[in-house]
Structure 1
């Protein structure tokens, strides 16, 4: 058993991150390790105990358990543990116990802190968040609250167009907002003045209310810059108001965006918005894999990459809806097209089928339903032709079950909540991720609020939903670190979707349900749960960190496949990862398993 300094040095430099340290750093570091030999069954530390420092297993085995006594990891030689929390509150969030005689190398807290402070390789290894990708101030990364103009020019609806034109001329701007108090009622642009007033010969004392764009499209301050650009490209507008809680807080114009670029994704959106056929759209969406490569290579975070890719799918859907109405005539009653699944959560990657449904006004007749059946077929077939393949589970608006009046949808949700059998659990999981894409949004707003309230109050339904969410577990193997797929085409690989991303998606959905949180995006749900206090700040941030790591490794894997000329998938062989990535991926899975265990033990699981 190596205990001499030269043997200890040889052992450490055979593993990351110590192999990246120079001789001088190693000369300082190696003597600071304390060698501890523990018998089988010895406690290394218990939950809540102060962490002494970083532990490295030199020989033997150590079992890690969470707060519910569930084994979350079994560590062998060359594995490290105990670093999580060293720079936070310094208390252990798990317990560690030896299973056989074990030799541990202990690096005290002060030495560990110095290691990660003074050496970038160690900082990257022990905290992936410190290994941030190259930072760029680009449109895709920037929230529009950093881009918008807050010095707003406003007029009331009874002001004249001449007054509005004079104000715009005096301030050399191209638009003015029409408000009632702090509420946005409309927007008037120079194009409106020339096209609606001058061209039509209207008198200059015409009220702005006659020619303004009433109830204009707007975005919240939390939207990202590319949301603005995509909206401008698709809707052919040059001004986007920014509102929060109905209040006007800012304005973004094309001029505001000149120093920002999101050319690739915005270019696709612009081409799709002008496409005349599904075939034309297919030629555009065929470039999405290349977009994925560019976005990943450009250092964009996973939530930005998936948002931009989902924007393309949203635009394809809305364009197909417009083409359908042009072909079949205007809809006889109000309707709303919604996406669920990854599109609903704005989390699409390079692998996407379609999941969607139609809400139809209760006034619809049976003949009206036949119209919407034709519309749904046109849109779903068009999505399929554009690369968003028909859902294998038939969760599409072409299925009459998912093309119904609002009253029928209200009955669906009520039945799923009051009788949560396995099918109801599955359907509720899908339908709680609904997001409006095109049509009359108000058809869904009240139903969403009612459903969240009813679901959160039904403890039996919540318990069944929790049970259903725990069916997808992280691929942790007690002996070899990972439990890979054992047979078939993807043997010896990890399913980063169903065993990595989906468990976090499910946990976030439960927190949204319990907290009546309307957010649909997974990361937004976790942030909202932390803000609402239903998820602890530390536990929530750990879960977000774990989700971020898995999602980014998944996207990097898909981008590598595309570069090789292969189709992107979710199956990754651990051997394709560096030691650094394997170590942190394992830690991420441990966090998720711990959060699942806490959810399962603390919420009254059904027997």
Structure 2
């Protein structure tokens, strides 16, 4: 199989982290890759061999095995292997073999090292992979409360065995906890029912208390994964109830441990990149809540967690674009799919909608538009199937307004800056977070820099944007309390997104506008604003600390929801926090309010 220069460029641009490179840098990089055809059974390298460089799978599957010849990964298209971080003194610590015919792209060792040295985004990506490979699943050090299934199914001890069996069948569980007034009395498993009831021919109305394990081994939520694993191995059991203050609060099973170890962002990305339908992808993205739990349990910072989760959405988008082209045929003119909102900022959590648009080459004709409308519908419908629900404000490429030639997009930005009415402010806020996902990146070109320059020079527009950014305020009440939602489903709760994260996102966007900063990620914007002097060093540190605390609190809340068997959301009851946590969260909100006040009065810094 041969690849044209254009095909090679398009493919490499579709792979992270190369999609973060500037067009000129990507153009310099592409010719350095060598094509390496492989046949099923071919050895790429063996344990202890010197590595030639970084391999990127274009087609086919590659099996990676450890020193005991046990498979550790099965890699498909867009997966990399052989990087220096996974070597020992330049020698491979694994073996790689082709399981199918395929094509690899090889970036020679010297060129890969130079790439890492020149581009921090690439270095961070591969350093993270190296860190992940060393850290493993973090099972041994993860707290039990992040592993357990919350709200376990229970029944009284007087329940008959047939009713107990039906409960287990209906809830698709392999054990049932027996309680009296919230206190754990025992546990019964499917093994108990088969070995003690069916095998002994006991009547179906036998009380479950006669076959349960009374006073079973339990652990507290503060135990760690290794405690669970060791207890299961020592006592040959597969279920451990979790008890706090004498009350049953959860249960951990061998399945929970297996699931925790199995989920990784790399595996999800790999599976999505090979999926043939949106339904196939949806089965993969359904694992995102468990991935969220694992990443937070592993001690990862919030910006790492959200970046890894966003990578999955990016991969799903690019895969859907490829599937759409396979169904619709090649595009009549070049296009670029861009994300805005949380995906654009690489800040997605366990719950996200989709915000996207299409840039089309100016050569597009009216007769070409049905193709792009069909492509947009295919991708947006696919993303919705994957759990990225449709944007309530219709900020999607399926809206003809957001599927336009580049010249029209230029007119949009010029018009919003020239006449900053409320709609223009809202649209500009969304569009300043644009990030290319798939297609011809050249179409984005220097539009961002030009727009930032023009917007920065228009003081009226900047003033309107500042005013618009102050509409979302922290939930601060009187007497050191919080202002919670007053009515509805989330009464007496805090919206950690709208009143916590969003105000900082808005501030970061204003700082980017004032400093002509091209970063889209909020944390990166705040750091860049400090470096460029847009905000003071002390103000930046305070705001970063406040943002980190709120973002971490939000993720921890979502993890708790997942462990309780519920969908993650952004609504937190202050009563779920300790006095210490409430005090610090309020302090974080005060910092944000202070920074909003400073920028609202024309002071861009906080000393």
Give the TM-score normalised by the residue count of structure 2.
0.61
Distance, in Å, in 2 between the alignment partners of 1:448 and 1:254 is 28
Equivalence for 2:448: 448
Instruction: Please state if 1:457 is matched with 2:445.
Output: no
Distance, in Å, in 2 between the alignment partners of 1:523 and 1:536 is 15
Q: Secondary structure at the match of 2:601?
A: helix
Equivalence for 2:329: 329
Equivalence for 1:487: 487
Equivalence for 1:498: 498
- Distance change >3 Å, CA 337–CA 579, structure 1 → 2: same
- Distance change >3 Å, CA 255–CA 581, structure 1 → 2: closer
Equivalence for 2:552: 552
Instruction: Please state if 1:533 is matched with 2:533.
Output: yes
Matched-pair contact (CA < 8 Å) for 2:344–2:433: yes
Matched-pair contact (CA < 8 Å) for 1:501–1:550: yes
Tell me the CA shift for residue 319 of structure 1. 0.3
Equivalence for 2:65: none
Alignment of 1:197-208 (within 5 A): none
Deviation sequence 1:265-292 (CA, Å, 0-9, x none): 1111110000000000001111111111
Matched-pair contact (CA < 8 Å) for 1:313–1:343: yes
Picking from 36, 47, 55, the partner of 1:192 is 36
Alignment of 1:153-232 (within 5 A): 184=29, 186-189=31-34, 192=36
Q: Secondary structure at the match of 2:518?
A: coil
Matched-pair contact (CA < 8 Å) for 1:233–1:269: no
Q: Secondary structure at the match of 2:392?
A: coil
Equivalence for 1:423: 423
Distance, in Å, in 2 between the alignment partners of 1:249 and 1:436 is 17
Tell me the CA shift for residue 477 of structure 1. 0.5
- Distance change >3 Å, CA 553–CA 247, structure 1 → 2: closer
Aligned-residue CA RMSD (Å): 3.0
Matched-pair contact (CA < 8 Å) for 1:184–1:246: no
- Distance change >3 Å, CA 581–CA 256, structure 1 → 2: closer
Matched-pair contact (CA < 8 Å) for 1:234–1:269: no
Matched-pair contact (CA < 8 Å) for 2:79–2:270: no
Distance, in Å, in 1 between the alignment partners of 2:328 and 2:541 is 49
Equivalence for 1:307: 307
Deviation sequence 1:463-520 (CA, Å, 0-9, x none): 0000000000000002351111111111111111111000000000000011110000
Instruction: Please state if 1:235 is matched with 2:78.
Output: yes
Distance, in Å, in 1 between the alignment partners of 2:445 and 2:333 is 17
Q: Secondary structure at the match of 2:338?
A: strand
Matched-pair contact (CA < 8 Å) for 2:495–2:570: yes
- In the alignment, structure 1 segments of 5+ residues that lack a partner are 1-178, 196-211, 214-228
Equivalence for 1:392: 392
Alignment of 1:271-290 (within 5 A): 271-290=271-290
Equivalence for 1:381: 381
Distance, in Å, in 2 between the alignment partners of 1:276 and 1:245 is 36
Q: Secondary structure at the match of 2:358?
A: strand
Deviation sequence 1:84-105 (CA, Å, 0-9, x none): xxxxxxxxxxxxxxxxxxxxxx
Tell me the CA shift for residue 188 of structure 1. 4.4
Distance, in Å, in 2 between the alignment partners of 1:292 and 1:252 is 21
Equivalence for 2:223: none
Distance, in Å, in 1 between the alignment partners of 2:366 and 2:507 is 40
Equivalence for 1:522: 522
Deviation sequence 1:100-127 (CA, Å, 0-9, x none): xxxxxxxxxxxxxxxxxxxxxxxxxxxx
- Distance change >3 Å, CA 557–CA 248, structure 1 → 2: closer
Q: Secondary structure at the match of 1:272?
A: helix
Tell me the CA shift for residue 249 of structure 1. 9.7
- Distance change >3 Å, CA 464–CA 497, structure 1 → 2: same
- Distance change >3 Å, CA 412–CA 188, structure 1 → 2: closer
Tell me the CA shift for residue 259 of structure 1. 3.8
Matched-pair contact (CA < 8 Å) for 2:76–2:274: no
Give the TM-score normalised by the residue count of structure 1.
0.61
Matched-pair contact (CA < 8 Å) for 1:279–1:385: yes
Distance, in Å, in 2 between the alignment partners of 1:245 and 1:411 is 35
After TM superposition, the structure 1 stretch with the greater mean CA deviation from structure 2, 487-496 or 235-244, is: 235-244
Equivalence for 2:572: 572
Matched-pair contact (CA < 8 Å) for 2:345–2:433: yes
Deviation sequence 1:280-311 (CA, Å, 0-9, x none): 00011111111111111111111111111111
Distance, in Å, in 1 between the alignment partners of 2:322 and 2:531 is 39
Number of matched pairs: 393
Tell me the CA shift for residue 192 of structure 1. 2.6
Equivalence for 1:5: none
Q: Secondary structure at the match of 1:587?
A: helix
